[in-house]
Amino acid sequence: MSFLFNKIVDNRQDDSMATIMRRRRFELFLNLLDRVPRPLSILDVGGLPNFWERMGFTDQPGIHITLLNIHDEHLAHRHFTAMIGDATDMSNIADQAFDVVFSNSVIEHVGCFAQQRKMAQEVQRVGKRYFLQTPNYCFPIEPHFLFPGFQWLPLWTRTFLITHFNLGWVKRISDPEEARTLVETTRLLRRRELHELFPTAELYEERLFHLTKSFVVYEHW
């Protein structure tokens, strides 16, 4: 089991399938970014420094990256800035304040569909263009708990599983209310829902074993 985890889903491993797919996705982003004149500003909503480090994209000339998170982040790179904020309410940021808004596997963690709509609206408001990725609800392996069909199970079943077992990236949670909250705030999106949130965006499907594992929406490039 650990071998399969390391070779397929562990994005901390350079040769895992997850890392390979992430790098392919980032190549798409870089190809789009080449169209944008420097200097330029990127807002990474919910991102961490190690993502950009793993992609080899730190201290790029003419590019400044702001990381927006609910907690402060320690930064070791001069072209990075940390900002404390909420992905669903960026009212402290002006319209089109950033040349690019980037977000990787975040919108599925902000809560219910209404909260996801708020994030989508903010992403489209504060950026002149955007690039957002999220896992596919219909892919048979849930990417956080790594349990087949986990996202399709009733709420009480998912809560029970989390309170009794370590699942994927998530260690067992003994408190049922905490487990229930985690389940309720991890909401994968369907293709039609993503179209509803980003109605004019281009949509890229990331495939694994001929199935769509995740989606990327992007616009105004």
Domain boundaries, the chain: 2-144+187-219, 153-185
Nearest partner of 109 among 171, 179, 187, 181, judged by Cα: 187
> For residue 104, what pLDDT is reported?
96
> For residue 21, what pLDDT is reported?
72
State the Cα–Cα distance between residues 84 and 160, nearest whole angstrom: 33
> For residue 165, what pLDDT is reported?
96
134 pLDDT exceeds 50? yes
6 pLDDT exceeds 50? no
Alpha helices in the chain (DSSP H): 2-4, 17-33, 49-54, 113-126, 155-164, 176-184, 191-197
Query: Percent of the chain, pLDDT > 70?
Result: 91
Q: Which two tokens stand for residue 10?
A: 């562990």
Q: What is the pLDDT of residues 55-75, one digit of tens each?
A: 999 989 999 999 999 988 888
- What is the average pLDDT score of the chain? 92
| Confidence band, pLDDT 50/70/90 cuts, at residue 10 | low
Query: Percent of the chain, pLDDT > 90?
Result: 81
pLDDT mean over 134-153? 95
pTM of full prediction above 0.75: yes
> For residue 11, what pLDDT is reported?
59
pLDDT mean over 153-158? 97
> For residue 3, what pLDDT is reported?
47
> For residue 72, what pLDDT is reported?
85
* Among 6-10, 80-84, 100-104, 177-181, the least confident range: 6-10
pLDDT mean over 131-135? 97
Residue corresponding to tokens 């927006």? 68
Q: Which two tokens stand for residue 180?
A: 């229930």
CA distances from 121 to 91, 145, 196 (A): 11, 28, 11
CA distances from 33 to 37, 38, 46, 56, 220 (A): 8, 10, 19, 15, 11
pLDDT mean over 186-194? 98
Angle at 53 between CA 49 and CA 55, to 5 degrees: 120
pLDDT mean over 192-214? 95
> For residue 97, what pLDDT is reported?
98
Q: 2-144+187-219: which CATH architecture?
A: 3-Layer(aba) Sandwich (3.40)
